[in-house]
């Protein structure tokens, strides 16, 4: 929790804002009070997203509906909302206590506490599923440890089990892979969710519950890898090691982590398996958690006892062409604004680790006290902004760059090098072209591409200012863009390599090597069975080798 910034609104709807509870790439969560002094957590979507993409408003509207329909003592409720405001917002009822994520930094939970946690979360899932929703993002960031039990928060990606009329999966927002939209925190996905299956059932939440309980009992996610891609791959392929977990807990967790959704228990069965948790007469949680609660209550008093007549710096109008790019840390310090344009640099290609971190981060719109934003590594890893290159025609040269009046779906060829790009228009059916996935006028901030699906490259130019979000299209097929954990097919009878839905006995990418490489590089990759090399003449930096394995029948 920290001080409001000058740009933060002092009034949202009928609520007076008091402090910042957390923030991430998509927005901020503010502590606020109503006319009677009651506390709420106000979730704001950054105006740049509201201005450019109506799907963010649609998502917020679905979140409000889900949170209002679910009636449970163990879930947070939306008490007010205005998704049509210039800056859309939701107001959640306020719950005291840290997130499980923050609590685990202070102490691993003892067995009795984990059993109480399991009972509370199973109750929440029972009620969520009874309202015919799948939460789809049950993680340590979205569970609050209140004094009387856990509370599930943030229905940002909850979905009705029965799709609503007109609802479209295309409004799902978070990119885990460059080849498709996969929703959720990779470490807490179910295998079917990690595979990109869109029609998830309540059984998916049960798997997430098992992972969460194992994490709470040991302090470490059993599927955690070195990157988001590796973590997602582990969820799809690996089996959790539960040896360090006490037997009573292990039985509950093992049942939840069945790889076959049909064999997982429902939430009511999980509750029955837990039975009556041991009595903790003093408290449900260890002392370290109660220390966090007391610290938060002290902060609450400090921020809410400010006299209403206190003069704050007034909010300024936010420029919808700019976007905050602060990483989500526990520090409220913002990143400095970029300085003058540097010398020409190549178009920014996000690093593999940046893409994985983005996937984890974008979901964590935390809505309660102590819920520091979980986008801990959401940063703009792009290089300095690019000085535009001259185009091939007189008109292009006069305008300064070839992206004047560019539209989604336009294609370009790079006639320069990857270090000094020089784009010219090209036919989209041609070989080796860059396709425009999204173009943003009046800005050179490449972070606006962060939430555009499939983006590989980001390029900005001036006079007129524009940022384009690009993907490289290889003539050998869409599998060129596959990430580790994506399933692919092709290579026989001259067929192009494609990305397909993951199924048992199918081929899955177990490694991706960019630039020059050999088959020997894949031989050192675990689970590798074969490889395929995509080459780009004249630009070896764009070469990609996919190392592939087989999905086992038990996955």
Per annotation, catalytic residue among 137, 154, 380, 386: 137
* Phi, psi angle pair for 272, to nearest 5°: -65, -35
Query: Helix axis angle, 247-256 relative to 267-274, nearest 10°?
Result: 170
Alpha-helical segments (H) within 379-459: 394-399
Total residue length of the chain: 555
Q: Is 554 exposed, middle or buried (0-12, 13-18, 19+ CB in 10 A)?
A: exposed
Q: How far apart are CA 120 and CA 149, in angstroms?
A: 6
Q: How far is CA 205 from CA 66, 133, 299, in A?
A: 15, 10, 34
Q: How far apart are CA 547 and CA 511, in angstroms?
A: 5
The torsion defined by the Cα of 6, 9, 11 and 16, in degrees rounded to 10, comes to -60
Assign 256 to helix, strand or coil.
Answer: helix
* Token output for 56: 């963010």
Active site residue 137: yes
Assign 414 to helix, strand or coil.
Answer: strand
Taking Cα atoms as reference points, which of 204, 225, 92, 202 lies closest to residue 526? 225
Q: How far apart are CA 142 and CA 66, in angstroms?
A: 15
Q: Give the Cβ contact number of residue 58 at 10 Å.
A: 16
The torsion defined by the Cα of 421, 423, 426 and 429, in degrees rounded to 10, comes to 30
Q: Give the Cβ contact number of residue 502 at 10 Å.
A: 21
Q: How far apart are CA 103 and CA 175, in angstroms?
A: 28
Taking Cα atoms as reference points, which of 465, 318, 473 lies closest to residue 400? 465
Question: Measured at the alpha carbon of residue 269, what is the angle toward residues 164 and 78, in degrees to the nearest 5?
Answer: 40
Residues 6 or more apart in contact with residue 448 via CB below 8 angstroms: 48, 52, 323, 440, 467, 469
Taking Cα atoms as reference points, which of 232, 226, 235, 236 lies closest to residue 176? 232
Alpha-helical segments (H) within 275-387: 287-304, 352-361
Residues 6 or more apart in contact with residue 96 via CB below 8 angstroms: 146, 147, 293, 296, 297, 300, 369
Q: What proportions of the chain, in percent to the nearest 5, are helix, strand and coil? A: 30, 20, 50
Q: How far apart are CA 335 and CA 8, in angstroms?
A: 16
The answer to whether residues 299 and 20 touch, using CB atoms and an 8 Å cutoff, is no
* Phi, psi angle pair for 425, to nearest 5°: -60, 145
Q: Tell me the catalytic residues.
A: 137
């Amino acid at each position: 929790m920290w001080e409001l910034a000058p740009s933060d609104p002092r009034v949202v709807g009928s609520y007076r804002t008091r402090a910042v509870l957390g923030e991430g790439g998509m927005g901020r969560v503010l502590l606020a009070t109503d006319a009677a002094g009651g506390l709420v957590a106000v979730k704001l979507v950054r105006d740049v997203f509201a201005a450019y993409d109506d799907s963010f408003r649609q998502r917020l509207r679905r979140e409000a509906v889900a949170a209002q329909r679910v009636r449970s003592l163990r879930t947070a409720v939306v008490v007010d909302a205005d998704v049509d405001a210039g800056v859309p917002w939701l107001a959640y009822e306020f719950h005291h206590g840290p997130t499980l994520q923050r609590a685990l930094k202070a102490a691993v939970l003892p067995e009795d506490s984990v059993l109480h946690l399991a009972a509370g979360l199973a109750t929440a899932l029972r009620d969520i599923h009874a309202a015919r929703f799948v939460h789809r993002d049950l993680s340590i960031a979205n569970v609050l440890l209140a004094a009387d039990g856990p509370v599930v928060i943030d229905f940002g990606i909850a979905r009705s089990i029965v799709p609503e009329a007109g609802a479209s999966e295309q409004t799902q927002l978070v990119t885990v892979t460059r080849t498709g939209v996969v929703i959720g925190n990779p470490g807490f996905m179910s295998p079917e969710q990690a595979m990109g299956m869109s029609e998830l059932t309540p059984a998916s939440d049960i798997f997430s519950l098992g992972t969460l309980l194992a994490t709470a009992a040991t302090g470490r996610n059993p599927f955690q890898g070195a990157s988001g891609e590796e973590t997602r791959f582990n969820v799809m392929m690996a089996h959790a090691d539960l040896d360090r977990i006490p037997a009573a807990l292990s039985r509950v967790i093992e049942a939840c982590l069945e790889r076959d959704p049909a064999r997982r228990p429902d939430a009511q069965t999980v509750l029955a398996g837990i039975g009556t948790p041991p009595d903790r007469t003093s408290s449900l949680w260890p002392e370290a958690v109660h220390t966090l609660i007391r610290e938060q209550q002290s902060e609450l008093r400090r921020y809410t006892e400010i006299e209403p007549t206190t003069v704050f710096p007034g909010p300024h109008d936010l420029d919808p062409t700019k976007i905050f790019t602060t990483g989500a840390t526990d520090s409220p310090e913002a990143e400095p604004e970029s300085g003058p344009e540097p010398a020409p640099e190549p178009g920014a290609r996000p690093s593999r680790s940046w893409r994985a971190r983005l996937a984890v981060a974008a979901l964590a719109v935390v809505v309660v006290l102590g819920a520091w934003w979980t986008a801990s590594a959401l940063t703009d890893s792009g290089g300095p902004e690019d000085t535009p290159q001259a185009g091939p025609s007189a008109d292009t040269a006069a305008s300064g760059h070839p992206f004047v009046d560019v539209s989604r779906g336009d294609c370009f060829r790079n006639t320069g090098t990857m270090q000094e790009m020089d784009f010219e228009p090209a036919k989209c059916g041609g070989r080796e072209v860059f396709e425009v996935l999204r173009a943003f006028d009046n800005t050179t901030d490449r972070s606006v591409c962060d939430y555009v699906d499939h983006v590989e490259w980001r390029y900005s130019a001036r006079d007129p200012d524009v940022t384009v979000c690009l993907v490289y299209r290889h003539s050998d097929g869409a599998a060129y863009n596959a990430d580790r954990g994506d399933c692919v097919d092709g290579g026989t009878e001259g067929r192009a390599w494609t990305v397909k839905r993951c199924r048992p006995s199918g081929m899955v990418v177990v490694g991706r090597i960019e630039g020059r490489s050999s088959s020997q590089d894949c031989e050192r990759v675990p689970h590798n069975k074969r490889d395929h090399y995509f080459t780009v003449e004249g630009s070896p930096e764009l070469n990609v080798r996919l190392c592939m394995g087989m999905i086992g029948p038990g996955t």
